[in-house]
Each structure stands twice: as structure tokens, then as C-alpha cells.
Homo-oligomer: A and B are copies of this chain.
Amino acid sequence: MKSRELAYRLLPGLKWLKGYTGQDALSDLIAGITVGLTVLPQGLAYATLAGLEPQYGLYSAFVGGIIYAFIGSCRQVTIGPTALLALMTSRHTGFGLNSGPAYAILLCLISGIVEMLMAVLRLGALVDLISLPVTVGFTSATAVIIGTSQIKGLLGLRGGSGSGFINTMKSVFLNLDKIRIGDFSLGVTAIIILLLLRKLKDLKLQNSNKFLKSFLWIVATGRNALVVLISSTIAYYTCQNKDACPLILTGKVKSGLPEFQLPQFKTTILNANGTETAQNYSAMLEELGPSMIILPIIAVLGNVAISKAFGGAGISPTRELVALSLSNICGSFFSSIPVTGSFSRSAVNHASGVRTPIGGFYTSALVLLALGLLTPYFQYIPKASLSAVIISAVIFMIEFEVIKPLWRCSRRELLPGAITFVVSLAVGVEIGLLLGVGADVAFLVYRVARPVLTVNKLSTTHGISYILIRPKHSSLYFPAIEWVRTGISKALETHGSAPVILDCSNVHDFDFTAGRGIGALNKELIRMNIPLFLLKASKEIIVILKESTNADIPTLEQPDDLETVLEQSPDYEPYLQVMVPLVANPNHGNADNEHDKKN
């Protein structure tokens, strides 16, 4: 019994096997194969997007499913190569010779290790810092970058995919005369078919023919595989004579399973002047630089978003993180590029009726089968059709529809989103993301530093006037204290001299700097003969005030206590004499007040 509990603890996926019925197995098999038919063309395409040979996409597509089946906590999640991570990987694969795979695989290993550190140090919460507008700006920008990077393939333009949005656009416009009609026609046709097939699912049939419905659903879900299959068949028959081929093909895809080997810690790159330069471990790490942190965070963000979307409250964030980490670490031994949960394939999985993460096993099996048997046929896949697969996938990542409601209800949030989008396009997605999060964090700090102050001139029931200042924020921390001091000075200028009551009823958090600030304020007010009181100050505030300043600032439980305090202590006599008559009846002259006093 105990050993079984331990096994469940270490490999929580085992619980799926408890009561695993034939019906479950069939459902998982159907879903697994459907996802496999999606990941085959996507994997080939994303590897090309990452600047690598197509087989690396398949190498990345089978480890995640197996690992996740053992550890993952959400049945729909499928882990594998994604367009976003492929794009981020592509930054480090353009140095020639065999350095591309070396960098990509090392990045995969390091991402896994960083994700494990995030799990151990409970840093998974870092993704909470990425707000919705920043997420939208980031994914939209990457979608635009990925989309434009595929325009060349779609148009049949040869040459590297170019670095960054602006360079790619420039290169496309400079080479518009070199468009190849064959690739262009195939690519555009493929995109149109893919978008139409996607719509098939939404089609509401009048006479609900069950068989027709299932058929349409299968065609819609397997549309990527279908389009690639058809275009490859065309290419197979038209391109037997290579010189007459109207299409640019994928070319030889290495057959067989990847070798099981340690990621390479050294490589050789081709310098700009054509010389070969050896890169040791530290040179490689330097090249990867901030990607080693930002890529895992993006991977975690994607994975968390998917498991939240499909799994709801039953998800264990730590288990998800460990599953993701191990998928990358183990994957790197099978030449995988960085992987994470794929939103589109998880949706396919969900729609295919997956019942347990064991479905991932079948996907992995299909990928391995393809690596063993299908690779000779992959060389006939036209590049334009892979570009079409990518473009019609990322086009739905552009989420401009969120702008309108944001404009209507919370305009200031558009700024971090816009910063992320524009900087991602103009400079790079990592910098864009960092600046977007920076703008959001700056706003949070601004809110802490500049609490709204409500200022009122009020009177006690017996007519002693006072100025009541209430910070509308739950903390009074170091960045805010000078602001509060200035606010009190201004209030005294506007309302004239009167005892100042600082209402701390909202304030839960306080610090030493704020304590010193209040102490300095108190000194200043004493110099001006104005007493300062704290209203409803918590014990914590009083302790910090006592430690940070020598002054003894009196506290009140309610504004009306002001009177009692002023009358009880001889220290306050001058205030009573000076202020009560001046302030209690502001419409009367001094003489009248004298009169009032006599009564």
C-alpha cells in the first residue's frame, strides 16, 4: 500500500491507469492519432521556422507526450514544438556549419533546467507579472513576425528567412520580381483551403447526418495533414524531373530515430569573413544570453495558460512545471528544440475527446513511426504548403479584438500592450516583453507611490475644526511618504491652520522610511504650532513609528476623541486658545467667539 502511494506521488500519471477501460483506450487512441496528424506537418514547419532541418521538429514531438503522460495534471495538454519557441530559437541558429542544432538543443536543455529551478524556487509565479495586454501584444507581435517570415516561402523566394520583421519585409519587397508562380499559387490555394476547412467545424447542418458530421469534423481537424499530403502528392508527380519542378521542396529529411546523446557543449560557427571559429561552452552561453531566462518564462506562461484554460482548478502548477522541465531536459538528449504546451494541438486533443494524458503515448508512437517509415516521402513536401500551415495557424494568434473593450474601460492598460507589440516588432520579442512588463510594474509602483489623498476640513461635535487626510491605499511605504507630506502641506495652505489628523484606517502596511517621514512631518508641524494625530493607526504602525522616530505622535480612535485629547493635556492649551475660536464659527468675528466662550 505504502509503495503504491509513493509510486503515485512520484509518477502521478499512474492514477490514470486505475480503472482504465477499453473505451478510455479507444478515445485516447483516436485523439492521440489526430494530434499526431497535426504535429507531423507542424513539427516539420516549425523546425524550418527555427532555422533547422525539418527532422528536428519531429525529434521534438515525441518526448513531451511520454513524459507528460506520467507527470502532467491536465488531460488535454500536449507538449511539443510551437511556433513561438521556434521563433525565439531561430535567433541562435544562423551561424552556419553545424552550430544551429547545437545551439537549439543546448537551449532546450538549459530551458528545462531553468524550469526545474523555477519549480524548486517556486518562481512559476513570475508569469503572474505578465498582464493580459502584454500577453496579447506579445503573441500578436510574434504572430506577425512568424507570418511575415513565411511570406518568402509562400512566394517561392529563396534565401534565409531574414532576421526580424523589418528586414524580412524589406527583403520581400526588394525581391518581388523573383516570385515563383508555382509556389505562390500553391501557397495561396493552401491557405484558402486551410481557412475554409477550419470553418467546416462551425457549419451547422440541417439534417444531422451523423456520418457526414464525423467526416467533416475529421477533415477539419486533420486539415494540416490533408493539405500537406495533397500538395506533396502533386509535387511527387510533377517533380520527378528536378529541373522542371515548379515548386521548392523540403528536400531530404534524415531518416530514423535521433541518436540518444548528451547535448553538445561546444560547436563551430562560420564567421562573417568565412573563417571557422570554435565556440566553447561559455561562448555558447554568452550567445544564448537572456534567451536562457526569457524562453523558459514564455514556455511556462504558454503551458500555464493552456492548463488553466482546459483544466480549471484541478491543475497543480508545480507538477505542470516539473512535467515541462523534464520534457525539455529529456528531450535535449533526443536532439529536441525547446518545447512547451501547444494551444492549437491541445484544442485538437480536447475536441477529439481525449480522456487521459495517455493519449500522448499514441501521438509519440505515430511520430516515431513517421520518423522510421515516412521520411523518404517528406522530401516532396513543398515549402509553400508548410508556410501555408504556419500562416493559417498564427493568423489567429493576432488578438486585436481586445483593444476595443480596453479602450472603453481601462485605456491606460493599452500602453504596456502597445509598447510590447511595437518594440517586439521593431527590436525583438524578448526586449518587447521585458519593456511591457517593465511598464506594468512601473504603473504598480506608481500606484503605491502616489496614493489618492482625500482631504477634508471637518469639525468635532463640539466644534473644533481639524483637517482629515486619508490615503486611499492599503500601504504607506517609502515611495509615498514624501507625497503624503506634500499633500498635508498643501492642505494646510488651502484650509488654514488646524490640527491635522492622518487617517490610517485604510493603511495595513507601513515601513521604516515612512515612519521617519511622519516623524519629520511631525517636527515640521510642531515648528508651525500645529498638532498631528494618527487616526486608527494599527499596532504595527505605532511600533514602527516608535522605533524610527523619537517623537511621540498621539493616536485617536475616532475624530471626536480629538477634543478630549486637546483638553486633557496642558501641552495643547495654545492650540485650543488659538484655534477653537478662530475655526469653530468661521462666519463670526473674534468678538463673537469671545462671547460664545463666556456662555
Task: Give me the interface of A with B, judged by CB distance under 8 Å.
Answer: 125, 128-133, 308, 312-313, 402, 405-406, 408-410, 413, 440-441, 444-445, 447-449, 452, 472-475, 477-483, 485-486, 489, 506, 508-509, 511-513, 516, 520, 524, 527-528, 543-544, 546-548
Name the CB-closest residue of B to A125.
B449
Q: Which residues of B contact A516 (CB under 8 A)?
A: 132
Task: Tell me, rounded to whole Å, the shortest Cβ–Cβ distance linking A440 to chain B.
Answer: 7
Q: Which residues of B contact A312 (CB under 8 A)?
A: 524, 527
Kindly list the 6 A-B residue pairs having the minimum CB-CB distance in the complex, ordered from nearest: A131-B478, A405-B547, A132-B513, A409-B547, A474-B474, A313-B489
Q: Which residues of B contact A447 (CB under 8 A)?
A: 448, 475, 509
Contact of A483 among B128, B406, B489 (CB under 8 A): B128
Task: Tell me, rounded to whole Å, the shortest Cβ–Cβ distance linking A512 to chain B.
Answer: 5
Q: A131-B477, A409-B548, A447-B509 are in contact. List 16 more A-B contacts (CB 8 A).
A: A125-B483, A129-B449, A129-B479, A130-B478, A131-B513, A132-B478, A410-B512, A410-B547, A413-B511, A413-B512, A441-B445, A444-B445, A444-B475, A445-B445, A452-B508, A474-B506
Q: A405-B548, A449-B125, A547-B405 are in contact. Are A133 and B444 (CB under 8 A)?
A: no
- 21 A-B residue pairs with CB within 8 Å: A125-B482, A125-B483, A128-B478, A128-B479, A128-B483, A129-B445, A129-B479, A131-B479, A132-B513, A132-B516, A405-B547, A406-B512, A409-B546, A410-B511, A440-B478, A444-B444, A472-B508, A473-B475, A473-B508, A474-B474, A474-B506
Name, among A133, A409, A448, A548, the residue most crowded by chain B CB atoms within 10 Å (CB to CB): A409
Q: A410-B544, A474-B474, A513-B132 are in contact. Are A448 and B449 (CB under 8 A)?
A: no
Question: How far apart sit A406 and B313, CA to CA, in the bound complex (Å)?
Answer: 40
Name, among A313, A447, A482, the residue most crowded by chain B CB atoms within 10 Å (CB to CB): A313
Name the CB-closest residue of B to A409.
B547
- Copies, count: 2
Q: Which residues of B contact A133 (CB under 8 A)?
A: 512-513
Name, among A125, A477, A513, A527, the residue most crowded by chain B CB atoms within 10 Å (CB to CB): A513
Question: How far apart sit A509 and B313, CA to CA, in the bound complex (Å)?
Answer: 25
Question: How far apart sit A528 and B312, CA to CA, in the bound complex (Å)?
Answer: 11
Q: Which residues of B contact A130 (CB under 8 A)?
A: 478
Q: A125-B449, A509-B447, A520-B308 are in contact. Are A474 and B472 (CB under 8 A)?
A: yes
Question: How far apart sit A527 and B311, CA to CA, in the bound complex (Å)?
Answer: 12
Task: Tell me, rounded to whole Å, the shortest Cβ–Cβ distance linking A105 to chain B.
Answer: 32
Name, among A129, A133, A508, A520, the residue most crowded by chain B CB atoms within 10 Å (CB to CB): A508
Q: Which residues of B contact A482 (CB under 8 A)?
A: 125, 128
Q: Which residues of B contact A548 (CB under 8 A)?
A: 405, 409
Question: How far apart sit A513 and B412, CA to CA, in the bound complex (Å)?
Answer: 13
Task: Tell me, rounded to whole Å, the shortest Cβ–Cβ distance linking A354 to chain B.
Answer: 18
Q: Which residues of B contact A406 (CB under 8 A)?
A: 512, 547
Name the CB-closest residue of B to A446.
B125
Task: Tell me, rounded to whole Å, the shortest Cβ–Cβ distance linking A465 to chain B.
Answer: 20
Task: Tell me, rounded to whole Å, the shortest Cβ–Cβ distance linking A497 to chain B.
Answer: 13
Question: How far apart sit A475 and B125, CA to CA, in the bound complex (Å)?
Answer: 18
Task: Tell me, rounded to whole Å, the shortest Cβ–Cβ distance linking A220 to chain B.
Answer: 25
Question: How far apart sit A413 and B408, CA to CA, in the bound complex (Å)?
Answer: 40
Q: Which residues of B contact A528 (CB under 8 A)?
A: 313
Contact of A128 among B402, B449, B473, B512 (CB under 8 A): B449
Question: How far apart sit A508 and B447, CA to CA, in the bound complex (Å)?
Answer: 11
Name the CB-closest residue of B to A486.
B313
Q: A409-B543, A512-B132 are in contact. Are A524 and B441 (CB under 8 A)?
A: no
Contact of A524 among B132, B313, B408, B452 (CB under 8 A): B313
Q: Which residues of B contact A128 (CB under 8 A)?
A: 449, 478-483
Question: How far apart sit A511 and B134, CA to CA, in the bound complex (Å)?
Answer: 13
Question: How far apart sit A528 and B314, CA to CA, in the bound complex (Å)?
Answer: 12
Contact of A409 among B408, B506, B544 (CB under 8 A): B544
Question: How far apart sit A225 and B472, CA to CA, in the bound complex (Å)?
Answer: 52
Question: How far apart sit A350 and B54, CA to CA, in the bound complex (Å)?
Answer: 77
B448 in contact with A444 (CB, 8 Å): yes
Q: Which residues of B contact A544 (CB under 8 A)?
A: 409-410
Question: How far apart sit A480 and B444, CA to CA, in the bound complex (Å)?
Answer: 12
Task: Tell me, rounded to whole Å, the shortest Cβ–Cβ distance linking A9 to chain B.
Answer: 19
Question: How far apart sit A293 and B129, CA to CA, in the bound complex (Å)?
Answer: 26
Task: Tell me, rounded to whole Å, the shortest Cβ–Cβ distance linking A32 to chain B.
Answer: 25
